[in-house]
Structure 1
Amino acid sequence: MTSQRTPRILVVGGGFAGVACARRLERRLRPGEARITLTAPFDYQLYLPLLPQVASGVLTPQSVAVSLRRSLRRTRVVPGGAIGVDTKARVCVIRKINGAVLDEPYDVLVLAPGSVTRTFDIPGLTDHALGMKTLAEAAYLRDHVIAQLDLADASTDAAERAARLRFVVVGGGYAGTETAACLQRLTTAAARRYPRLDAGRIRWHVVDVASRLMPELGDRLGTEALRTLRRRGVEVSLGTSVERVERDRVRLTDGRELPCRTLVWTAGVAASPLVGTLGTDTVKGRLVVTDRMTVPGLDGVFALGDAAAVPDVTKGDGAVCPPTAQHALRQGKVAADNVVARLHGHPLRPYAHKDLGLVVDLGGTDAVSRPLGVQLTGLPAQAVARGYHLMALRTGVAKVRTATNWLLNAVAGDDYVRTGFQSRRRATLRDFEFTDAYLTPEQIRARRASVT
């Protein structure tokens, strides 16, 4: 960077980490002191923890999608996905939403591309499973679930009806547990509107290879969540996983074969494939970074959020921060401070944050929470969970919209409306996250050679 040119700061990612970083940069830098650009596939920040409530219809999609242009006032927003980074030329390769590819130059790069759904080499998985990582997936899943009720109600075939009324969620973490809990409430309530359907024939299953449900919560709260699900009739199978997925059935590793038309895959996340284009060290797929979130060996490159293995200095012993919104939000602020310090020639500061606790909303008055180590269940836990979510939402408009949706749903319930998009073509995991769009290091080198 030279004094003759305004420094160019490029933030990759519109999630908690990226948006928090850009907002902090806007506050810390004077107008004209640096040029801030943010690129993200969508023009909104998704509040991922509330996605199960979108799938169940408790919240509208707009409640959890905060406009980037409303949040960011001095940041140039480039709608597109970063598909490669040329660190030698200091260029980020971006595929815009119209398919055009551009080279976006930078002086300082902040990588916060987030994560994608982690899949395994299970026959039929990517062809038949549905995900819960994007807003489009949540909206599609709601449509799909209601469609199964419609089709089961219309069917005269007992085997088809049983398969359409069985729903399997793979993954006993927060996403899987909340998705199963919220959608089970949806289907049970909706069945009352179908005279030919017996709610007792609707089957929900949660499958996880772990021995406990949400082990991060601890024994007591994990057991309480498990008890809540089973009380509602949700079958929870621990210590098992999926062996094969077909269009109308799922085979588990314990030998069971379940007739099923709906498999929701929430078995973890993996760092964005973008990290593989840098050619630097990784830990379990996440970029190795210092406690100041700089990438060793790459001048002017910071990485944070789900895509980076940020050391957890509060725990030590090589621990890294978990990929949660709580950490991503705070990492974004510290990364912005370090970018500003770098521009001004000041020392960078390490990231340190002690976990404030966890909240799990199981719908209705059911929840489990552990704020500041205090274990809560039932209505008090629900109040803490929803209060936390309201505080974490970025704008006042989002807070009001979400609170209004909660109130309206509690008073009036749901209309179980199916929008009908993609009704004639079943969508799968492959249709939402575009994980095949990234460049390889060889393609990046070839691209640089063709330009020079």
Structure 2
Amino acid sequence: MSTTERPRILVVGGGYVGLYAARRILKKMRYGEATVTVVDPRSYMTYQPFLPEAAAGSISPRHVVVPLRRVLPKAEVLTGRVTTIDQDRKVATVAPLVGEAYELPFDYLVVALGAVSRTFPIPGLAEQGIGMKGIEEAIGLRNHVLEQLDKADSTTDEEVRRKALTFVFVGGGFAGAETIGEVEDLARDAAKYYTNVKREDMRFVLVDVADKILPEVGPKLGAWGKEHLEGRGIEIYLQTSMESCVDGHVKLNNGLEVDSETIVWTAGVKPNPALARFGLPLGPRGHVDTNEKLQVQGTDYIWAAGDNAQVPDVIGRKAGNPNAWCPPNAQHALRQAKVLGDNVISGMRGFPQGEYSHANKGAVAGLGVHKGVAMIVMGKMKFKIKGRLAWYMHRGYHGLAMPTWNRKIRIFADWTLAMFLKREVVSLGAMETPREEFYEAAKPSPPPAAASAAPETAKAS
């Protein structure tokens, strides 16, 4: 960590908003005007819309993440967590990966902690559930699913086999519907290489407490998405919740009970709970309360945006809805980050700051290879698209939204190769415990039974 007499702009969080805001600030800032410091427990940003495709093997996991130090070479990147904020002293407490926590003074603060999985106190969920918020979870899910096929193919125990081939997904929003669609595609392709496993042997279950799936694309496309997934043999239970999943025994409140080794939890997100320790004004659901300029209410040196902020929807409020807020999605996060970066520079120089205003352009979702839904908004017109064309739009939009040309090219290269090469179905489950085999080889061998018994024999004689 460098020490400097220049003002410090502290960016807490290196996700979508943190990365883009820091880039914008560095681009607009004069040489030597300030020091930009980014603090995040990971040294990379994850593009979360691509996690389902990474889990299915359509994209290399390394291409879904953007290394912060490479993209922000003029910034100070610290790998750790900001645990507390002292607003009176303008000091943040940073807990690094190793070593003791230390204080870091700042002059301007950007809060971009994002969101975490929203969970409930369901028995067994913490032990059995698999989330889909990070690239590690996507890799783990892929390895886990293929490992279940390996297990089912080689066992003679029908109960073990049935449990291994049952996959339960909780949550029918973008993350849940896209993940189950991609994983079902993966399992269908992989089954071709197994002697004792067919797609008909597998059971996919999607559960949601709402009365529809994919609410982001509207009721008609959501209904089509439900019919499409059901046509692929996926069971969908709406207005249903999971009561428990102890030891993989899933109980739903509609009376259904299944045994499953795979329980994927994508039932929404909530603001990062660390915000509660920052002393910032929070909304009813734990989001940082900001004004139209993305400034935290009651401050003139703190800004927030993205999933951890409740940002007023200026267009919705002008249309007569006083409680309109911007939804937490990548479309808004990208645009908010740019406005936030500009406002930090303006605030630092004492200039007027701009309001964040963006009309919804629609939504796109992929449900597996060549399958998707898209709702495109152009003025007062809405275009509803489904099938292959929607899938192309999904890939095109997110491919271009991926930060840096380095990652854009790698993503499109992955897709191009997939047109000519078959999907990889290799499970690297040993990645979870990479030292286990070496440990078994290196640990001391126990003495032979005959040698250990020899002294007792001699003593007896």
State the match for 1:22 in structure 2: 22
Conserved in 1, the CA contact under 8 Å of 2:295 and 2:302?
yes
Q: 1:363 aligns with which of 368, 377, 386?
A: 368
State the match for 2:297 in structure 1: 296
Q: 1:328 aligns with which of 319, 325, 333?
A: 333
State the match for 2:234 in structure 1: 234
Q: What are the within-5 Å matches in structure 2 for residues 244-323 of structure 1?
A: 244-279=244-279, 280-316=281-317, 317-323=322-328
Query: 2: distance between equivalents of 1:202 and 1:192?
Result: 13
Conserved in 1, the CA contact under 8 Å of 2:45 and 2:68?
yes
Query: 2: distance between equivalents of 1:162 and 1:237?
Result: 20
Conserved in 2, the CA contact under 8 Å of 1:168 and 1:206?
yes
Report the TM-score, using the length of structure 1 for normalisation. Answer: 0.91
Q: Which moved more, 1:220-229 or 1:181-190?
A: 220-229
Query: 1: distance between equivalents of 2:406 and 2:298?
Result: 42
Do structure 1's residue 389 and structure 2's residue 398 form an aligned pair? yes
Give 3-state SS (helix, strand or coil) of 2:335's partner: helix
Structure 1 pair 14/423, CA: closer, same or farther in 2 (3 Å)?
closer
Quote how far apart the aligned CAs of 1:99 are. 4.9
Structure 1 pair 421/107, CA: closer, same or farther in 2 (3 Å)?
farther
Query: 1: distance between equivalents of 2:80 and 2:257?
Result: 41
Do structure 1's residue 186 and structure 2's residue 195 form an aligned pair? no
Give 3-state SS (helix, strand or coil) of 1:283's partner: coil
Percent identity, aligned pairs only, is 39
Query: 1: distance between equivalents of 2:274 and 2:315?
Result: 28
Which letter maps to 1:400? I
Conserved in 2, the CA contact under 8 Å of 1:163 and 1:249?
no
Quote how far apart the aligned CAs of 1:152 are. 0.9
Unaligned runs of 5+ residues in structure 2 are 435-461
Structure 1 pair 144/88, CA: closer, same or farther in 2 (3 Å)?
same
Do structure 1's residue 411 and structure 2's residue 420 form an aligned pair? yes
Quote how far apart the aligned CAs of 1:179 are. 0.4
Conserved in 2, the CA contact under 8 Å of 1:87 and 1:298?
no
Structure 1 pair 211/99, CA: closer, same or farther in 2 (3 Å)?
farther
State the match for 1:144 in structure 2: 144
Quote how far apart the aligned CAs of 1:49 are. 0.1
Structure 1 pair 370/76, CA: closer, same or farther in 2 (3 Å)?
same
Report the TM-score, using the length of structure 2 for normalisation. Answer: 0.89
Conserved in 2, the CA contact under 8 Å of 1:210 and 1:238?
yes
Q: What are the within-5 Å matches in structure 2 for residues 56-67 of structure 1?
A: 56-67=56-67
Q: Which moved more, 1:92-101 or 1:341-350?
A: 92-101
Give 3-state SS (helix, strand or coil) of 2:245's partner: strand
Unaligned runs of 5+ residues in structure 1 are 426-452
State the match for 2:82 in structure 1: 82
Conserved in 2, the CA contact under 8 Å of 1:13 and 1:113?
yes
Give 3-state SS (helix, strand or coil) of 1:350's partner: coil
Query: 2: distance between equivalents of 1:115 and 1:102?
Result: 25
State the match for 1:428 in structure 2: none
Which letter maps to 2:333? A
Q: Deviations over 1:189-223 (max 9, x none)?
A: 11111101122011111100000111221122111
Conserved in 2, the CA contact under 8 Å of 1:209 and 1:239?
yes
Give 3-state SS (helix, strand or coil) of 1:254's partner: coil
How many matched pairs? 422
Which letter maps to 1:156? T
Quote how far apart the aligned CAs of 1:384 are. 1.0
Give 3-state SS (helix, strand or coil) of 1:412's partner: coil
Query: 1: distance between equivalents of 2:124 and 2:75?
Result: 42
Give 3-state SS (helix, strand or coil) of 1:270's partner: strand
Q: Deviations over 1:104-160 (max 9, x none)?
A: 211000000101011011111111111110111111111111111111111111111
Quote how far apart the aligned CAs of 1:295 are. 1.4
State the match for 2:158 in structure 1: 158
Structure 1 pair 113/376, CA: closer, same or farther in 2 (3 Å)?
same
Q: Which moved more, 1:254-263 or 1:406-415?
A: 406-415
CA-atom RMSD, angstroms? 1.5
Structure 1 pair 99/419, CA: closer, same or farther in 2 (3 Å)?
farther
Give 3-state SS (helix, strand or coil) of 1:302's partner: strand
Query: 2: distance between equivalents of 1:100 and 1:402?
Result: 39
Do structure 1's residue 224 and structure 2's residue 259 form an aligned pair? no
Query: 2: distance between equivalents of 1:302 and 1:403?
Result: 34
Conserved in 1, the CA contact under 8 Å of 2:291 and 2:311?
yes
Which letter maps to 1:219? P
Query: 2: distance between equivalents of 1:322 and 1:400?
Result: 29
